[in-house]
Amino acid sequence: MLSNKLQLFLCCILLSPLVLAAADGSQLWLRYDKVTAAEAGRRQIRSTSSGPVALMAKAELDDYWRGPAVELVIDKKKREYGEGYQIKWTGSGLQILAQQDRGLLYGAYHLLRLQGEGKDLRGVDLTEIPAYDIRILNHWDNLDGTIERGYAGRSLWKWLELPTQISPRYAAYARANASIGINAVVLNNVNASPDILRPDYLLKVKALADIFRPYGIQVYLSINFSSPKIIGGVKDSDPLNPDVSTWWKNKVKEIYRTIPDFGGFLVKANSEGQPGPQDYGRTHADGANMLADALKPYDGLVMWRAFVYNPTTEDRAKQAYQEFVPLDGKFSENVIIQIKNGPIDFQPREPFNPLFGALRKSSEMVEFQITQEYLGFSNHLVYLAPLFKETLDSDTYSDGKGSTIAKLTDGTLRPAKKTAISAVANIGEDTNWTGHHFAQANWYAFGRLAWDHQLSSEQIAEEWISLTFSREEQLVHAVKEIMMTSREAVVNYMMPLGLHHIFAFDHHYGPEPWGDRKGGRADWMPWYYHNADTVGMGFDRTASGSDAVSQYFPPLDEIYGDITSCPDSLLLWFHHVSWTHRMKSGRTMWEELCYRYDAGVQQVRELQKAWDRLEHQVDSQRFAAVQSKLKIQAKDAVWWKDACLLYFKTFARQPIPYDIERPV
Ligand code: GCW
């Protein structure tokens, strides 16, 4: 008989890796304990399908499901389900019914989620159908292992080791995605190296695709438009040159021979120095359609990015619309125009991109950014579901009232061959995958909204917290409050009232509103965006300025264009506003600016206190990690406030109100 002490000691040794793993964040929201042999023996998991994806669903339930018997059933009659499923209580157990194996897998993860949330499943009958066909992550990972705008370590993809050596994290990554319904990934940066299409790289891509396949995930690649010339020995990469299209056709054939379920290409062309069809006097449509032709026989897609702008005198916010609207109707059926949520670039707050809805005969999809390029990297706690929802719920009025971006892109208002939604990933090699423990929530939220954009930010937060920390009610409530405050806090302490792009040049972490006007491209300089002078500040996008407002459908053009009806949150986006302008609060614009910056700082302080109160409810490892990140965030918030207020004060020539925390 072992002594109690010895038993305790052994138990600690045996359990410690588990406990540590749970505390280091490596398990994400999938913190399920394996069932014991005895538990497994008490219930049966059966599947009518023996496809690899269905078997994965069964294996997950075999390993982690503690409830009654589950039957996974392919039901071909459920035609409109796509990748959806039904979960039904049969009286003695549960059935997951789906039209496709992927539906069974998503149903299985749904069950595990409900188990994790502690839900009673007796009597359950629910149906889930995904809002978008393609729910895709874009990795901006370079072939040298770095990640553009990545803040969670180096790339997960070990190109030097592939295809021979396989990291266990590839499957773990795919599993995490599958558990939230993500069914596609673009492996490499949109600033694409042509090398990705070389035969040796395609074998590496194949190795990843083989691992992802049983998790229902398809692989896409970003391509460099000059590939025919650079790696193919073709004279040029002109899309109308028959040698070029032949090269692409052969390349695509080779890809599908290697990866039969390959998804397609993501293309950044004629943007920020990348090559494209315009290099040859051709249009985006010429370029996209040439690739689309090559992919068509295999049902492949082209996601063609609308993130284009040049250092012209034209307002950068207008350029995508100007380039793409004249091409509407010219794109092939298997081209989707991928549009960033806002017209500039993933700012803490932007109005929606006016291209949404303006293209009437072309498929459109949203591109969000999960990685926090403009939101404090992986140092700041910023829950992004409210930002994603703000875009998806925006009413463009393109087809009358209620023409939300969600409805324009999910097939409701504009039928599309395939609907899609994308986001730039925040995932890297860090143990906790995303750098900040709370940045995991943004990966999770994107997946959940891509599946169902009607979920509320609060609901998603509750789910994530219950699965990731604990389902203790008071903790869920407190953490949810932290998350729900965080987005407005960051807007306040970085860029309130519609300010944008006043970041330090290039790295985009801290403030640099004074950024040199003469030293570089005007449209990369903060002054271009805030236009502060002794009269006021803001970007005049009304008819007297760049007239970007006219790209919005009525009545938004008028609402945004009139200083009295423009919402405070977008005021300096659309107007050059005098420092003494009376805001809705009764304060002057200058005073309001001071109060907003101060409010941002105070909000972060409250987040710190709220987190500190959870010290005994969260494991010490994650507690301390988040606590120290919040310290950085609080310091940065003060930095932003002080830098911006002291700088803008030189134009405003007004005192800083006494009741805010004084800049030092
Ligand atoms: O936001 C800007 C980034 C670039 C990025 C570009 C894009 C991948 O600063 O790093 O390049 O957008 O979206 O293409």
Query: What is the tens place of the pLDDT at every residue in 29-41?
Result: 999 999 999 999 9
Q: Active-site positions?
A: 272, 345, 373
Query: What is the CA(370)–ligand 1 centre distance, in A?
Result: 13
Query: How much of the chain, in percent, has pLDDT values that exceed 70?
Result: 96
- Tens of pLDDT, residue by residue over 492-529, are 999 999 999 999 988 999 999 998 756 678 888 888 89
* Interval between CA 190 and ligand 1 midpoint (Å): 8
Which superfamily, per CATH, for 134-455?
Glycosidases (3.20.20.80)
CA dihedral 235, 236, 242, 248 (to 10 degrees): 110
Residues with CB under 6 A from ligand 1: 140, 148-149, 190-191, 268, 272, 307, 345-346, 373
Domains of the chain, by residue range, sit at 27-128, 134-455, 491-539+576-652
Return the residue whose CA atom lies nearest to atom 11 of ligand 1: 191
Look at residue 140 in the predicted model and tell me its pLDDT.
Answer: 98
The reported pLDDT for the residue numbered 664 is 75
What 8-state DSSP symbol labels residue 404?
Answer: B
Please state the atom number of ligand 1 nearest to the C-alpha of residue 191: 8
Q: For residues 366-388, give the mean pLDDT.
A: 98
Q: Please name the amino acid found at residue 363.
A: S
Q: What's domain 27-128's superfamily in CATH?
A: Chitobiase/beta-hexosaminidase domain 2-like (3.30.379.10)
- Distance in Å, CA 366 to ligand 1 centroid: 15
Pick the atom of ligand 1 nearest to 190's CA: 8
Residue with tokens 């994965």: 56
Distance from the alpha carbon of residue 252 to the mean position of ligand 1, in angstroms: 26
For residue 148, which atom of ligand 1 is closest to its CA? 10
Query: pLDDT tens for residues 52-82?
Result: 999 999 999 999 999 999 999 999 889 889 9
Q: How far lies 317's CA from each of 308, 364, 447, in Å? A: 10, 18, 28
Distance CA 411, CA 131 (A): 9
CA dihedral over 222, 225, 230, 234, signed as positive or negative:
positive
Ramachandran quadrant class, 662 (left: phi over 0; alpha: psi -120 to 50; beta: rest): beta
Cis peptide before 513 (omega within 30 of 0): no
pLDDT tens column, 267-295: 999 999 999 999 999 999 999 999 999 99
Of 138, 139, 140, the residue with max ligand 1 atoms within 8 A of its CB, to mutate for a pocket test, comes to 140
- Given a cut of 90, is residue 6 above it in pLDDT? no
Instruction: Give the separation between CA 293 and CA 251, rounded to whole angstroms.
Output: 12
Structure confidence at residue 20 (pLDDT): 56
Q: Homologous superfamily of 491-539+576-652 in CATH?
A: Alpha-glucuronidase, C-terminal domain (3.90.1330.10)
What would the 3-class secondary structure string for 283-311 be? CHHHHHHHHHHHHHHHCCEEEEECCCCCC
Is the pLDDT at 236 greater than 70, yes or no? yes
Residue partners of 626: CB distance under 8 A and separation at least 6: 381, 436, 437, 438, 611, 618
How far apart CA 252 and CA 220 sit, in angstroms, is 12
Q: CA nearest 427: which of 169, 202, 135, 210?
A: 169
Contact of 171 with 124, CB cutoff 8 Å: no
Topology alike, domains 134-455 and 491-539+576-652: no
What is the residue-averaged pLDDT of the chain? 95
ipTM reported for the complex, 2 dp: 0.99
The helix/strand count (H/E) of the chain reads as 20, 15
Cβ contact 247:234 at 8 Å = yes
Q: What separation in Å is there between the alpha carbon of 144 and the centre of ligand 1?
A: 18
Whether the CB-CB separation of 394 and 345 falls below 8 Å is answered with no
Closest protein CA for atom 3 of ligand 1: 149
Nearest-atom number in ligand 1 for the CA of 506 is 9
Question: Is the omega angle on the peptide bond into residue 242 within 30 degrees of 0, that is, cis?
Answer: no
Q: Would the pTM of this model clear 0.90, i.e. be above it?
A: yes
Handedness of CA 419, 175, 198, 309 (dihedral sign): positive
pLDDT digits (tens, 9 = 90+) for 102-159: 999 999 999 999 999 999 999 999 999 999 999 999 999 999 999 999 999 999 999 9
Q: Which of 597, 639, 405 is nearest to 488 (CA)?
A: 597
